[in-house]
Structure 1
Amino acid sequence: MVLQLSTFHWEGGAGVAAARLHQALRNAGTDSQLMVSEISSPAPHTTAWADASWKSRKAWGNFVLERLSFLPYEKDKSVRFAFSPAVAGADIADHPLVKQASIIHLHWINFGFLSMKSLEKLFALGKPIVWTLHDMWTFTGGCHYNRGCERYLSHCCYCPYLKKPGEYDIAFTQFEKKQRLYQNTNLTLVSPSRWLDNLVQKAALTNGKPSRAIPNCIDTNFFKPGDRIGARNALGLPADKRLLLFAGANTQDPRKGFTYFREAMQDPDLAGTEVMILGKGKPENFKDMPVKVHFLGKISDSAQMVQAYNAADMLIVPSLEDNLPNTIMEAMACGTPAVGFDTGGIPEMIGHLESGFISKSKSPSSLSEGIQWVLSHNSNGAISEQARAKVLQHYSEEVIARQYSQLYDSLLHG
């Protein structure tokens, strides 16, 4: 049995990716169990660590303690959730599922689910560990994305996220702990993008460790092309406008690059288009957009997400740092082309001038050029077909489950 461990369940990019992989493996006949901190909705072969009210309180307490422990060090509140000290977490080493597991498969485990001590106890069991990285935390001194700092290539210290960066700051300390933790562990690192796998191979903490790139997966029978007019009617959107979709868990997160999108929309050639926005935020955040905005808020229902993708002419992803965004995969599976910046794993997903357009990072004019290219080249649906074909070939459940099954077999049978 393979035990998948994830803080979140069907929530956030990493939580969704972990749940989808678990589902794909089960469908392919692999005995996968998923343990999350707390379950968002009942699901087969899925267990919450917090399966009693006192444990729910403990899970919340661990999250609070984890954040409070960073508070005295944080540079300002904009970095509050961008660095995880991993000082608080659940001890799951004696959990029945952990004892039964032949392989322990970690996903995103921060925010009070597993601490450095929790990991130490898990690793001490001597079982093969597979760790799918959903950001850079595994090989840094605590940041989830490095924002240009390259000290993780040698040794973290003088961390730019801290109020008082120093030679022996908390990034230095966590780096040292991870170094000891990884030393004698049967650890295989998996990155959803080749971009992240390349960083894994360069990082001081992980170079020399077995690593590979295996993308996240998606249910292509659920995320599929549908009736555009019907989708627009259901969401109260105009039937006759060209609609550009921006979807971010937090639209105000600077990492998602919304300001570049706003600037791109000032191009007079885009004056006739309108914008759909999904995610956390408030309508007033978008009042200075130069075109009409349809703010749909946060959508948790997957069927509604499919409608949103089908309603849009394209997805815009101006992220400044990103691994392998689920939104791109979901949109393309629905036959909705994507335009994104040349950052992280995005260029691996969007075939430039085939299934979408890759724009120069931080360039509103290049973003505008990409939007116009898709609008002018997709009138017959050729770009949409290419987008769907790319997902079927590289990200379908069957394709990814097979790659993970082969990895598990190689770890168990050499």
Structure 2
Amino acid sequence: MESGINKKPNILIITSFLSNDNSSQMIWDVTKSLEDYYCVDILSKYPVKKEFFNIYSAYSNYEKLIHSYFNILESKFKSFKKKIIKSVEKKTLPYYFFGINEEKPPVNPKRIVSKIDKEYDFILIFFWQGLLTSKTLQEIYKKTKKPLLLIAADMFPMTGGCSYFWDCDRLKNSCGKCPGISSNNENDTTRKNFLFKKEILSNLNCVFLGNSWQINHAKKSGLFKNMEKIYPIVDEDVFKQRDKLLLKQKFNYSNKIVLFFGALGVNDPRKGFQYLLDSLKLLSELRPDLIKNIVLLVAGSGDKVEGLDKFEVKYTGHLTFDQLAEHYALADVFLSPSIQDAGPMMLNQALMCGTPAVAFNIGTACDIINDNTGYLAKYKDSKDFCNGIIQIITKSDTELQQISEICRIQSLERSSYKGFRNGILTSYNKIKSN
């Protein structure tokens, strides 16, 4: 549908989360990448003022304030309840259930649908949690009759409720008997959710967008008729190659091997820090000759990482996007030990800066890490992860420069503004006439 002075067609981006800080940068980047071809509107849960962006919201600022107040009370009540009960609970893996009733979305679909007052070519869905379920998608599609492009930030779109399912393969059987809620019932809430989702999605013109690791799991679920690859967008003008020697001089790391990783989620089993610690311990045992030249550069303002006594460790504290990009560029290797992750996003950013990475064979790493861009380690295999580190840092300067160039070239093809836009438009063109 053409509109505006430039007669561009309209598209709508729906996202549950939006803010003015760096956490919403991906949404701003996606909007910028598409606005050369489209008039882009954004619909979020709460209002956000952002110059040059056309943003709608399901709730007002006043309603946001009330919700925040009740959220604080709810959080305090849960904390108090735990102290009173003092029960010893069996530790379970973090399955992350953000919502477990597909028939009752967290926001009334009428609120969202009422904000859609234009004709759009297609609607792009980001970050479902706290805003919508398949029931909401059904109501949006009823009103618009336009293709829905569902970008998967995690595994939630393909399950009966969880965002990460670890070794559980119940999605092949329409979920049920869910370990995440300690259920032995084949027809539990997750089964009902899954079947409800399946019925709705079968009647929508939609496409599941994710990396090959996600798509392989989505195929097992049988929920989606259309699936296409897409990769997180990265601003190639911020995350770019720089003069590594000059950067190392600037930060006093000259003649050092810099291993870079993030500290967010140190105590989260999903982030795999125990495997990283085991790998670094092996590194100190197998190659003690390298240790004196290695600096572990730890990003973020999260918890300190214990167990690194044999290494020189530097903590960056909070980094802006520009500072983060600079640190990727000065690093020799980026380490990503996550064992349950659709991304992580940092892998895509590191490679865009020309920095090779070592990661386990999950998530986006399966697609972007190869012999030319780093080392893809066997799942949960600390020894293989360690082998990957050694293999990269012992390469010649010429080999490392070649790897850096390939990292950048391949990243531009899939994750630059143009690369992401091409992926979106290709997916839309495949389903627009359905």
TM-score (norm 2): 0.82
Say if 1:298 and 1:130 are closer, same or farther in 2 by CA, change over 3 A.
same
CA distance in 2, matches of 1:12, 1:377: 38
- Picking from 344, 352, 357, the partner of 1:333 is 352
- Picking from 224, 239, 259, the partner of 1:223 is 239
Say if 1:80 and 1:48 are closer, same or farther in 2 by CA, change over 3 A.
farther
CA distance in 2, matches of 1:12, 1:254: 27
Q: Which amino acid in structure 1 is aligned with residue 338 of structure 2?
A: S
- Picking from 30, 35, 53, the partner of 1:45 is 53
Residues 26-41 of structure 1 correspond to what in structure 2 (within 5 A)? 26=35, 28-38=36-46
Corresponding residue for residue 141 of structure 2? 123
Q: Which amino acid in structure 1 is aligned with residue 217 of structure 2?
A: L
- Picking from 254, 268, 274, the partner of 1:259 is 274
Say if 1:298 and 1:176 are closer, same or farther in 2 by CA, change over 3 A.
farther
Q: State the shift of 1:243 in Å.
A: 1.3
Residues 198-277 of structure 1 correspond to what in structure 2 (within 5 A)? 198-206=216-224, 209-228=225-244, 231-232=247-248, 238-247=253-262, 249-266=264-281, 267-268=283-284, 269=287, 270-272=290-292, 273-277=294-298
Q: Which amino acid in structure 1 is aligned with residue 171 of structure 2?
A: Y
What value does the CA root-mean-square deviation take over the aligned residues?
A: 3.3
CA distance in 2, matches of 1:51, 1:237: 49
Residues 155-234 of structure 1 correspond to what in structure 2 (within 5 A)? 155-191=174-210, 193-206=211-224, 209-228=225-244, 231-232=247-248
Between the two proteins, the alignment pairs up a number of residues equal to: 403
Deviations 1:176-235, CA, capped at 9 Å, x for gaps: 3212321321222222x12212222221333xx11211222222222111233554566x
The structure with more radius of gyration: 2
Q: State the shift of 1:59 in Å.
A: 5.4
Residues 8-157 of structure 1 correspond to what in structure 2 (within 5 A)? 8-9=17-18, 16-26=25-35, 28-38=36-46, 42-47=50-55, 49=57, 52-57=60-65, 60=68, 79=94, 81-85=96-100, 87-91=105-109, 92-97=111-116, 99-110=118-129, 112-125=130-143, 126-157=145-176
Could you tell me the percent identity over the aligned residues? 22
* Secondary structure in 1 matching 2:423: helix
- Picking from 307, 310, 328, the partner of 1:309 is 328
Q: State the shift of 1:80 in Å.
A: 7.0
Q: State the shift of 1:294 in Å.
A: 1.5
| Range that drifts further, 393-402 or 307-316 | 393-402
Q: Which amino acid in structure 2 is aligned with residue 114 of structure 1?
A: L
- Picking from 342, 350, 355, the partner of 2:361 is 342
CA distance in 1, matches of 2:176, 2:70: 26
Residues 259-298 of structure 1 correspond to what in structure 2 (within 5 A)? 259-266=274-281, 267-268=283-284, 269=287, 270-272=290-292, 273-279=294-300, 281-283=302-304, 285-286=305-306, 288-298=308-318
Deviations 1:298-330, CA, capped at 9 Å, x for gaps: 43x211111111221110112212224321111
Unaligned runs of 5+ in 2: 1-9, 83-88
Q: Which amino acid in structure 2 is aligned with residue 153 of structure 1?
A: K
| Residues 171 and 220, structure 2, Cα contact 8 Å, conserved in 1 | no
| Residues 229 and 423, structure 2, Cα contact 8 Å, conserved in 1 | no
CA distance in 1, matches of 2:57, 2:354: 38
Say if 1:194 and 1:80 are closer, same or farther in 2 by CA, change over 3 A.
closer
Unaligned runs of 5+ in 1: none
Corresponding residue for residue 3 of structure 2? none
Deviations 1:13-57, CA, capped at 9 Å, x for gaps: 99544442222111x422222223346772532425266322323
Q: State the shift of 1:332 in Å.
A: 1.1
- Picking from 382, 385, 394, the partner of 1:376 is 394
Q: State the shift of 1:386 in Å.
A: 1.7
